[in-house]
Amino acid sequence: MRRSGRLGKWLVSGPPLLYLIVFFAIPTLIMVLASFRTPGDFGGLTPLFDESGKLDLNVDSYVRFFTESVYAEVFLKSVWYALLTTLLCLALGYPLAALVARSGRKHRNLLLLLVILPFWSNFLIRIYAWMIILGPQAALARGVNGVLGFFGHEPVPLLFSSFAVLVCLVYVHLPFMVLPLYANLEKHDQALLDAAQDLGAGAWQRFWRITFPLSLPGVYAGAALVFIPALGIFAIPDILGGPDDSLIGNIIKQQFLETRDWPFGSVLSIVLTVAAVVIAGLAAWIGRRNLGTPSSARTARA
Amino acid sequence: MSLLEIRNVTRRFGDFTAVDRVSLSIEAGEFFTLLGPSGCGKTTLLRMIAGFDLPDDGSIFLNGTDLADRPPEDRPVRTVFQSYALFPHMTVEGNVAFPLKMAKTPAAEIPTKLAAALEDVRLTGFGKRFPHELSGGQKQRVAIARALVTHPTVLLLDEPLAALDAKLREDMQIELINLQKEVGITFVYVTHDQTEALALSHRIAVMNAGHVEQQDEPSRIYGFPRTRFVADFIGHCNLLSGPVVANAGGFVTLDIAGLGPVRVAAETPAAVGSSGAVALRPEKIRIAAVAPSDTPENHYRGTVAEMLYMGDVTVYKVQTPGGEKIEALLANSASGRAKFFDVGDAVEMSWAVAAGHFIPE
The letter for the amino acid at B315 is: V
CATH number at residue A73: 1.10.3720.10
Taking an 8 Å cut-off on Cβ atoms, the answer to whether A291 and B89 are in contact is yes
**A16-34: b or e for each residue (b if 16 or more CB lie within 10 Å)?**
eeeeeeeeeeeeeeebeeb
Question: Structural domain tally of chain A?
Answer: 1
> What gap in Å lies between CA B73 and CA A194, rounded to an integer?
9
The Cα B247–Cα B253 span in angstroms is: 6
Is residue A54 pLDDT above 90, yes or no? no
Name the minimum distance, in Å, from the CA of A212 to any CA of chain B. Answer: 11
A214 and B88: CB-CB below 8 Å? yes
Q: Which domains does chain B have, with CATH numbers?
A: 4-231 (3.40.50.300), 236-360 (2.40.50.140)
The boundaries of the domain holding residue A225 are 68-301
pLDDT at res. A145: 85
3 state DSSP class of B204: strand
A115 in any annotated domain: yes
For residue A54, the tally of other CB atoms under 10 A from its CB is 8
List the 174-193 stretch of A: residues with Cβ below 8 A of B: 189, 191-192
Q: A189, A190, A199: best mutation site toward chain B, by most B Cβ within 10 Å?
A: A199
Tell me the chain B residues in contact with residue A301 when contact means C-beta distances shorter than 8 Å: 88
* Residue A33 belongs to some domain of the structure: no
Residue B240 to residues B191, B255, B287: CA-CA distances in angstroms?
Answer: 28, 9, 17
Residue A188: what pLDDT?
92
The predicted-structure confidence for A69-107, as pLDDT tens digits, reads as follows: 889 899 999 999 999 999 999 999 999 999 999 988 888
Residue A37 inside a domain? The answer is: no
Round the average pLDDT of chain A to a whole number and report it. Answer: 87
Cβ(B266)–Cβ(B358) below 8 Å? yes
- Other Cβ atoms closer than 10 A to B3: 18
**Cβ contact B244:B229 at 8 Å:** no
Tell me which residue in B72, B103, B130 faces A198 most closely, judged by beta carbons.
B72
Contact by Cβ (8 Å): B289, B348: yes
Check CB contact under 8 Å for B88 and A209.
Answer: no
d(CA A72, nearest CA chain B) in Å: 40
Contacts from B300-304 at CB under 8 Å and sequence distance 24+?
Answer: B300/B259, B300/B260, B300/B348, B300/B349, B300/B350, B301/B346, B301/B347, B301/B348, B301/B349, B302/B326, B302/B346, B302/B347, B302/B349, B303/B344, B303/B345, B303/B346, B303/B347, B304/B341, B304/B342, B304/B343, B304/B344, B304/B345, B304/B347
> Could you tell me the mean pLDDT of each successive run of 10 residues in chain B, 361 residues long?
92 93 94 93 94 94 92 94 93 96 93 93 92 92 94 94 86 91 93 92 95 93 90 89 85 84 82 86 86 74 88 87 85 67 86 85 79
Q: Diameter of chain A by CA atoms?
A: 83
pLDDT at A295: 39
Q: What is the pLDDT of residue B354?
A: 83
Q: What was the ipTM of the complex prediction? A: 0.82
Any domain includes A175: yes
Mean pLDDT of A249-270: 91
Please indicate whether, in this complex, the C-beta atoms of A198 and B89 are within 8 angstroms of each other. Answer: no
Predicted local confidence at residue A296, as pLDDT: 38
Provide the shortest C-alpha distance from residue B84 to chain A (in Å): 9
**Which residues of A are less than 8 Å from B50 in CB distance?**
198
State how far residue A281 is from chain B, nearest Cα, in angstroms: 21
Residue range B303-329, pLDDT digits in tens: 999 988 888 888 899 998 878 889 998
Bigger pLDDT: B151 vs A280: B151
Our CA-based measurement puts residue B329 at a distance from the nearest CA of chain A, in whole angstroms, of: 43
Binning pLDDT at 50, 70 and 90, where does residue A291 land? low
Q: Cα–Cα distance between A294 and A220 in angstroms, integer?
A: 16
Q: Is A196 on the interface with B (CB under 8 A)?
A: yes
Judging contacts by C-beta atoms under 8 Å, the chain B residues touching residue A197 are 52, 71-73
- For residue A21, is pLDDT > 90? yes
Residue B228's contacts (CB-CB under 8 Å, 6 or more residues apart) are B239, B277, B279, B359, B361
A209 found inside a domain: yes
Asked, for residue A237, whether it belongs to a domain, the answer is yes
Query: For residue A214, which residues of chain B lie inside 8 Å, CB to CB?
Result: 88-89
Nearest chain A residue to B133, by CA: A297
Higher pLDDT, B163 or A62: A62
DSSP B313: E
Q: Does A198 touch chain B (CB under 8 A)?
A: yes
pLDDT at B295: 64
Task: List pLDDT tens digits, range A181-216.
Answer: 999 999 999 999 999 999 999 999 999 999 999 998
Q: Which residue of A has its CA nearest to B72?
A: A198
Residues B65, B71, B74, B76: what is their CA dihedral angle, to the nearest 10 degrees? 60
B90 three-class SS: coil
Residue A8: inside a domain:
no
Amino acid at A286: I
Give the whole-angstrom CA distance, residue B176 versus residue A24: 62
Chain B: closest CA distance from residue A286 (Å): 15
Query: Which tens digits make up the pLDDT trace of A234-259?
Result: 889 988 988 888 899 999 998 998 88
Minimal Cβ distance to A202: which of B73, B88, B132: B73
| Dihedral sign of CA atoms B138, B142, B143, B144 in order | positive
